[in-house]
């Protein structure tokens, strides 16, 4: 039996998505033979309820030099993080000479606003190719994996932090122990640790099984985060909703007894109990629905191929690897996908090896159907692709397979 990375409790398996690659490790054809694969499965801890990967992928493989993820890849993300930064500037960073540290600053999409306001800040991120973009935006970056010793170095140089922030980062870090000890070292006595991450409640309600991939080691709930916070000497004092990736939760932790927890915490905990988010029956239903999505999607794509219809994939987010590898969708069913990220173009989707092309290829191919992998950006994409929508059809696969 695997044991919980947070509390050492017994983890029992909930869902197996088969052999999978590292989801953002887009590769050239020449590197196929050396591709890293692992068994992608999640389980839940019996004692702290943390849902987590059964096996994980070493960080050097996940965040290698050619790491392709760009946080500012959509207008929605850019607007959202500018708003988050402005909120922090107006609240937690409004005191004298404030200091904020972002764990996993990526291309600087959030810290850019902070830097422009002239506020002391530091982004910590090991993916050099991406942090180069942050530096170009005037953001200070330390190329490192955040942990206890890195936190000590930062404190020695800059003093303690008023805010430690993370977005789609904290759930990526397998060793929360070193992370939370680092936060403990660096955070000032009245500081806040704020992080927004994919939410298990959203994964379940939207059947977003493609949010499950190697980078997401944990699938948080208010309940599991609260237990984790307590374990490391923090208190969960607030939760809020964030619209990214289909609906995330932003958690605010402080040192114990510093702030009165907001009513939102109790409300979300009650909602999770009501929805059975720690209940094995909920996951059995989820697993059945996921298997049905796979069967329906494969049947549809094979049917379209047999009828001579053309299908192109739209967007190559990390999610694409999960859905294509789990379902067994290769270039014979979806000849290529288009994505606006230059660093992904010309490479192959990990595992399933669908070629990634620039967005113009979509217009040129003029397909009958578009399979929407970047479904969390549907509004932005629909607004951009009105010409296609008038003659072609979109295929969606969450929360179920739909053509329309
Ligand atoms: P994103 O939602 O940022 O990420 P994740 O990998 O965490 O699931 O990924 C969206 C991808 O979709 C990104 O590679 C950019 C691409 N994209 C387009 O190709 N066209 C678009 O119009 C938009 C909004 C995104
Ligand atoms: Zn546990």
Q: Give residue-wise pLDDT tens across range 321-340.
A: 999 999 999 999 999 999 99
Residue 396's pLDDT band (boundaries 50, 70, 90)?
very high
Given the CA of residue 69, which atom of ligand 1 is nearest to it? Answer: 6
Atom nearest to 359 CA in ligand 1: 19
Q: Read off the pLDDT of residues 12-42 as tens digits, 9 standing for 90 and up.
A: 999 999 999 999 999 999 999 999 999 999 9
Whether 230 is in the pocket of ligand 1, judged by its Cβ within 6 Å, is no
* 61 has pLDDT over 90: no
Over residues 379-399, the mean pLDDT reads 97
pLDDT category at 66 given cuts 50, 70, 90 is low
Report long-range pairs for 396-399 (Cβ below 8 Å, ≥24 apart). 396/372, 397/293, 397/296, 397/297, 397/323, 397/371, 398/206, 398/207, 398/208, 398/209, 398/210, 398/293, 399/205, 399/206, 399/207, 399/208, 399/289
Is the shortest distance between the CB of 69 and ligand 1 below 6 Å? yes
Query: What are 131's two structure tokens?
Result: 């942090």
Does residue 74's CB lie within 6 angstroms of at least one atom of ligand 1? yes
What's the pLDDT score for residue 77? 92
Report CA-CA distances (Å) from 10 to 1, 172, 241, 287. 7, 21, 30, 20
Residue 401 alpha carbon to ligand 2 centre in Å = 34
pLDDT of residue 72 exceeding 90: no
Tokens of 58: 């070493």
Over its C-alpha atoms, the chain yields an Rg (Å, rounded) of 21
Nearest CA-CA partner of 368 in 299, 295, 301, 297: 301
State yes or no: pLDDT of 67 exceeds 80: no
pLDDT at residue 63 in the model: 75
- Give residue-wise pLDDT tens across range 217-271: 999 999 999 999 999 999 999 999 999 888 999 999 999 999 999 999 999 999 9
Q: What is the pTM of this model?
A: 0.94
C-beta of 317 in contact with ligand 1 (< 6 A): yes
HSE at residue 390, side-chain half, CA atoms within 13 A, is: 6
Burial of residue 177, with CB atoms counted within 10 A of its CB: 0-12 exposed, 13-18 middle, 19 or more buried: middle
**Residue nearest atom 23 in ligand 1 by C-alpha distance:** 74
Give the tens place of pLDDT for each residue, 329-370.
999 999 999 999 998 999 999 999 999 999 999 999 999 999
What's the average model confidence in pLDDT over 159-188?
96
Q: Are 231 and 253 spatial neighbours (Cβ–Cβ below 8 Å)?
A: no
Q: State the greatest distance between any 2 C-alpha atoms of the chain, in Å, as a whole number.
A: 67
User: What pLDDT, on the 0 to 100 scale, is given for residue 94?
Assistant: 98
pLDDT for the residue numbered 161: 98
pLDDT, mean over the chain:
96
Structure tokens at 170: 């904290």
Question: Is 254 in contact with 189 (CB distance < 8 Å)?
Answer: no
Ligand nearest to the CA of 382: 1
CA nearest neighbour of 388 among 310, 335, 325: 310
Q: Whose CA is nearest to atom 9 of ligand 1?
A: 317
Neighbours of 3 (CB within 10 A): 11
Q: Kindly give the pairing relationship between strand 393-396 and strand 402-403.
A: antiparallel
Counting from 1 in the atom list of ligand 1, the atom nearest the Cα of 71 is 3
Per-residue pLDDT, 73:
79
Would the CB of 384 count as within 6 Å of ligand 1?
Answer: yes
For atom 19 of ligand 1, which residue has the closest CA? 339
Q: For position 284, what pLDDT does the model report?
A: 97
Q: Write down the pLDDT at residue 305.
A: 98
With beta carbons less than 8 A apart as the criterion, state whether 72 and 107 touch: yes
Closest CA to 150 of 185, 196, 99, 191: 185
DSSP-assigned states of every residue in 204-255 = HHTT-GGG-STT--EEB-HHHHHHHHHHTT-EEEEEEEE-GGG-EEEEEEES
| Ligand 2 centroid from CA 151, angstroms | 25
| 3-class SS of residue 91 | coil
Least distant ligand from the CA of 2: 2
pLDDT at 40: 98
User: Tokens at residue 192, please?
Assistant: 């806040």
Residue 73, ligand 1, Cβ within 6 A: yes
For residues 237 and 254, is the Cβ–Cβ distance under 8 A?
A: yes
Establish whether residue 319 lines the binding site of ligand 1, counting it when its CB lies within 6 angstroms of any ligand atom.
Answer: yes
- What's the mean pLDDT in 109-123? 98
Name the residue of 24, 208, 315 to mutate for ligand 1: max ligand atoms within 8 A of Cβ: 315
Place of tokens 């008023």: 162
Q: In the numeric block, which tokens belong to residue 355? A: 């070629």
pLDDT at position 65: 64
């Amino acid at each position: 039996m695997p044991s919980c990375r947070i509390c050492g409790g017994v983890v029992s398996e909930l869902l197996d998505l088969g052999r999978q690659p590292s989801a953002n490790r887009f590769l050239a054809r020449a590197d196929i033979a050396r591709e890293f694969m692992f068994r992608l499965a999640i389980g839940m801890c019996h004692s702290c309820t943390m849902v987590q990967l059964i096996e994980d992928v070493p960080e050097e493989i996940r965040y290698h030099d050619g790491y392709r993820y760009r946080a500012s890849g959509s207008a929605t993300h850019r607007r959202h993080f500018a708003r988050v930064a402005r909120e922090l500037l107006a609240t937690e960073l409004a005191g004298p000479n404030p200091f904020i540290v972002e764990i996993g600053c990526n291309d600087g999409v959030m810290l850019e606003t902070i830097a422009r306001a002239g506020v002391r800040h530091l982004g910590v991120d090991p993916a050099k190719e991406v942090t180069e973009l942050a530096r170009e935006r005037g953001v200070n970056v330390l190329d490192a994996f955040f942990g206890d010793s890195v936190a000590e170095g930062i404190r020695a140089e800059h003093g303690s932090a008023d805010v430690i922030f993370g977005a789609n980062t904290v759930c990526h870090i397998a060793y929360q122990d070193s992370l939370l000890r680092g936060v403990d070292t660096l955070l000032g006595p009245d500081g806040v640790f704020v992080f927004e991450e994919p939410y298990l409640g959203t994964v379940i309600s939207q059947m977003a099984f493609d949010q499950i991939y190697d980078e997401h080691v944990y699938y948080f709930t208010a309940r599991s985060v609260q237990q984790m916070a307590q374990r490391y000497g923090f208190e969960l004092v607030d939760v809020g909703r964030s619209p990214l990736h289909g609906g995330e939760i932003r958690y605010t932790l402080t040192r114990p007894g510093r702030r009165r927890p907001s009513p939102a915490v109790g409300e979300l905990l009650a909602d999770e109990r009501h929805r059975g988010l720690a209940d094995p029956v909920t996951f059995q239903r989820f697993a059945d629905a996921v298997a049905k999505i796979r069967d329906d999607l494969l049947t549809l794509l094979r049917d379209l191929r047999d009828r001579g219809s053309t299908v192109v994939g739209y967007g190559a987010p990390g999610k694409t690897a999960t859905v294509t590898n789990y379902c067994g969708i290769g270039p014979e069913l979806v000849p290529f996908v288009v994505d606006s990220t230059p660093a992904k173009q010309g490479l192959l989707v990990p595992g399933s090896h669908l070629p990634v092309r620039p967005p113009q290829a979509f217009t040129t191919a003029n397909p009958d159907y578009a399979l929407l992998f970047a479904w969390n950006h549907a509004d932005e994409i629909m607004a951009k692709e009105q010409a296609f929508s008038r003659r072609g059809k979109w295929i969606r696969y969450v929360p179920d397979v739909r053509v329309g």
